[in-house]
Amino acid sequence: MIQEIIDLVYTQGANGWRTSLPLAMLLLAVTTYTVTILSYLRTKYIHGESQEPPIIPYWLPGLGSTIPFVRDTKGFIDNAVRKWGDSTPYTIKLAAFKGYLITQPEHFGPLLKATRFLSNKKVMAELMRDVFGTPPNVMPMYLGDNSGIEAKPVPGTSIPSHQRIWHNQHVDSAKYLTGDVLRGLAARFTSTLSEAISKADPNDPADSGEWVTIDDFYPWWRARVFAAATTSIFGPHLLRLNPTLEQDFWNFADSIPTLVKRYPAWMAPRAHAARNKMIDSVKKWHAHAREHSDYSISGDDAPKWDEYWGSVWLKVRQRWGQATGTMDDGGLASEDLALAIAANANAIPMAFWYLVEIYRDPALLSRVLPELEAAVISPAADNTPAAFDLSPVLASPLAQSIYAEVLRMRISLLLNRCADHKDHRIGPWTLKKGAYMTLPTAYIGYHPKAWEPYTDGGKAPIDEFWAERFLVPDEAKSAQTEDAVSEKKEPKMRFSTEHLEGIWVPYGGGALMCPGRHFAKQEMMGSATVFAHYYELEIISGKAPPMDEKYYGMGAQQPAEKTPVRIRRRHGGWKAAGNGQSL
């Protein structure tokens, strides 16, 4: 009897706990949400001077918005703006940390230009560690360099000149991705791509000279552009030494959204294995290049391209890294792996989108093809690659407008800035030193009010592709035309991103703007030019595929679905024509 009573009491107690614990947790969550809503309203509407922006309300005490932000960043941002509007910056509580979400168009430009006070050093250092695998012994150089990017170090800092990594990267990127070096690099890319695809592949139906269907155009074109871009920057031996590099590269790129969330190897073994394989490939190439070519011969008089190192810039990077006294083989490999991602992971998907948008619209294609054909200076003939001069394409208002529109729609970055030295003010709000400021380009690139003047009076909605969005009347040329014919005609148009500061930001802004943007532009437009010379294309659905939201905030968005096409080779097909001659 006594035992039965004890068992009954125990059972009732256990059942009570099972009932009361969830209720207690629910009550705690509701209380937390109510308190944070009241705090949000008080801060937003009754804030004082030097106050931080209001905290986005959350349910989980201690964790804040960590789970929804990490699990679905796009959904979190969209939901926050839908609920709370975008009239003010917001503070996001992420467990023990906090950051600021900036969605107001008027703040993007000033924040991105304020590089004297704000930097992306902190997030870039963390990316080098978490994504690119920089060894722990090298990380203090990244994290400790607070001297800024300018030639004159930030006052009060004492970083030795040979370890000022941010300044060095800024200067060298500007030097080797502009001017004559850039033109040489772009010319090598187009010639390498042209030479590669001038040789018809008898195992590829697309090279037969007949119309054929390809199940998915993206990987087909991606592989060809990747090989040309990698060879033009790194030379031929990185690919030769690592035959699976192209697939390894995209396996790693697909792992970046996982690695950036800092999952340890036991939770994300495939992502870490993909990163490690790429690092090993770069190490193998470095060792081979050092064995066959002296990287120290990399001054201004050195050849701008080397068979083993590729662009002279890679020799300069190797020389500087060795001179730091801190970089080891792992650190050097991580640096060049980051460069490979910067050079390929954005430009190559964007080259795909550029082609898709042109070829899915026959009317647009008929206008663009003459612009691309103007770049051909020597057509392909008798297995001789075509030669190109991209100047006419790069100067074409329409081709440039398509380029800018593709970037607006398909680049999604979470631009991060941090006040390294003191608090920063925007309007009435104070952004605390050391906290991240996150500026989502995908949100601002579709901001209806900011882009309203660029919708052709509402006929070209901002969520739809419009090839002419970045064209404006060229008043000078229009006036010359009118004088010549003594009658008014349709105005001449020119490409322009004027007055779009802070809302067209696919490369960031200010002094920290992506240094590779000029090469990326030539890679996109150059690859389309080469493709159009060798192939004809039809997008079967007539539509662009949706974007894969997995890559939100990571740069160029990749297609979420296959893109079936009909394709026919124009020059040098392997299949015999009716007259017995090759096409």
Residue that is last in its domain, among 64, 83, 101: 101
**What's the predicted TM-score (pTM) here?**
0.91
Residue 250 lies in a domain: yes
Residue that is last in its domain, among 74, 101, 128: 101
- When mean pLDDT is compared across 9-13, 400-404, 469-473, 490-494, the lowest value belongs to 9-13
Position 489 confidence tier, pLDDT thresholds 50, 70, 90? low
In sequence order, what E strands does 376-489 have?
376-378, 387-388, 411-419, 424-426, 429-431, 436-440, 471-473
Residue 124 lies in a domain: no
Residue 150 lies in a domain: no
Same structural domain for residues 66 and 168?
no
| Phi, psi dihedral angles at 152 (to 5 degrees) | -90, 120
Annotated binding residues for heme, written as ranges, equal: 514
Contact between 57 and 35 (Cβ < 8 Å): no
The reported pLDDT for the residue numbered 117 is 86
Token code pair at residue 54: 């209001």
Reported as a single tens digit per residue, the pLDDT across 435-454 is: 999 999 999 999 999 999 99
Supply the DSSP symbol for 32: H
Q: With pLDDT > 90 as the criterion, what percentage of the chain qualifies?
A: 77
Residue 380 pLDDT more than 60? yes
Same structural domain for residues 187 and 89?
no
Position 490 confidence tier, pLDDT thresholds 50, 70, 90? low
Local structure of 506: helix, strand or coil: strand
Report the chain's terminal Cα–Cα distance, integer Å: 98
Position 486 confidence tier, pLDDT thresholds 50, 70, 90? very low
Same structural domain for residues 93 and 194?
no
Annotated binding residues, written as ranges, equal: 514
Residue 112 lies in a domain: no
Domain extent for 247: 161-569
* Cα–Cα distance, 511 to 151 (Å, whole number): 13
Same structural domain for residues 257 and 343?
yes
The reported pLDDT for the residue numbered 427 is 87
Residue 75 pLDDT more than 60? yes
Instruction: Give the domain CATH number at 543.
Output: 1.10.630.10
Which DSSP string do the residues of 295-328 spell out, in sequence order?
TT--STTS-SEETTTEEHHHHHHHHHHHHTSS--
249 Cβ neighbours under 8 A, 6+ residues apart: 226, 278, 340, 344
Same structural domain for residues 85 and 168?
no
Residue 328 pLDDT more than 60? yes
The reported pLDDT for the residue numbered 580 is 34
The reported pLDDT for the residue numbered 15 is 55
Token code pair at residue 126: 């963390």
The reported pLDDT for the residue numbered 576 is 42
Q: With pLDDT > 70 as the criterion, what percentage of the chain qualifies?
A: 92
The reported pLDDT for the residue numbered 475 is 77
Structural domain tally of the chain? 2
Position 477 confidence tier, pLDDT thresholds 50, 70, 90? low
The reported pLDDT for the residue numbered 480 is 58
